[in-house]
Structure 1
């Protein structure tokens, strides 16, 4: 197991982030974000993943997660593996994708530099897991991830961003089943 997938325990929630290689802005198209949302929902329903907070930005994702079943590092590994293949395939098949050749070239080039990959690399390998041992830490990370789209100028108010749990915390129903803290 890589040093980048270290979760010290499974009892506490963790804040994790992962980004596309070279911070490529893949998630400017909703069809790619939707693949990620569907995969997270699959992990919630079938692997025991617990989501406390999440946001998808143009080149990266932030999650606050826990588990009721499988170890978090296994869930994250499977999530990244599946989404990397599915999103690259969606890019290949998207007739409207003007950046297709360039993005595929960049993913292939990154994959050739990493012996752990067969053909391409979509995600950077680190997750930077941070154990959240108390509610103050959880609140701080929730505020951080919910304000990401505001800081980037995507929306004026965090709960207006469709690809975030800020909707759930503002009394709405978002795209992913969130356990509110």
Structure 2
């Protein structure tokens, strides 16, 4: 992996992107999004993750976050959510795409270098150090406008699975530290 995409500054604030394998649109169901939110809340409470902004899209999520142990948190977060999402898809009687999603996740696991039973997330988490206010503002705007650009909502704060509500002065789904 390139040095460009490693979280080396333990005090830095990072823009992070985590993507579903094959960009599969998994997060179209509320219960799957809740698994992500609950896991992020756990990481905030128990693993020293500071969350400044976040947004769950249909096939990826963006975070602006910091932690002295960010690589470990991302590893654990991906491992845990992978198991929980796989189980949720498998056990969901309303999941019309169950066969296809399980096939995709299982095939990705078989093709991985570790030959796992399944693989939910693409490798890495693409951390970008936000080294100045301009970069921070640009990534924050990008993150919050993602659902608008995708045509899901007209205003960023209308997207429930995002911190845009917090930045609009409303109460959001997760606790965030607002960037000034």
Q: What's the TM-score bracket when you normalise by the shorter of the two chains?
A: over 0.9
2:108 matches 1:110: yes
Q: Tell me the TM-score normalised to structure 2 length.
A: 0.95
Give the deviation of 1:32 after TM superposition: 0.2
Deviations 1:64-114 (A, max 9, x none): 1101xx510000000000001000100001000010011000100010111
Partner of 1:90: 88
3-state SS of paired residue (1:107): helix
Q: Tell me the TM-score normalised to structure 1 length.
A: 0.95
Gaps of 5+ in 2: none
Root mean square deviation of aligned Cα: 1.3
| Structure-1 separation of matches of 2:155 and 2:129 | 27
| Structure-1 separation of matches of 2:102 and 2:163 | 30
Aligned length: 178
Give the deviation of 1:173 after TM superposition: 1.1
Gaps of 5+ in 1: none
| Structure-1 separation of matches of 2:100 and 2:90 | 11
Distance change (3 Å), C-alpha of 1:117 and 1:45: farther
State how 1:42-81 maps to structure 2 within 5 Å.
Answer: 42-67=42-67, 70-81=68-79
Partner of 1:168: 166
3-state SS of paired residue (1:168): helix
Partner of 1:39: 39
Give the deviation of 1:117 after TM superposition: 4.9
Partner of 1:153: 151
Give the deviation of 1:60 after TM superposition: 0.3
| Structure-1 separation of matches of 2:42 and 2:115 | 24
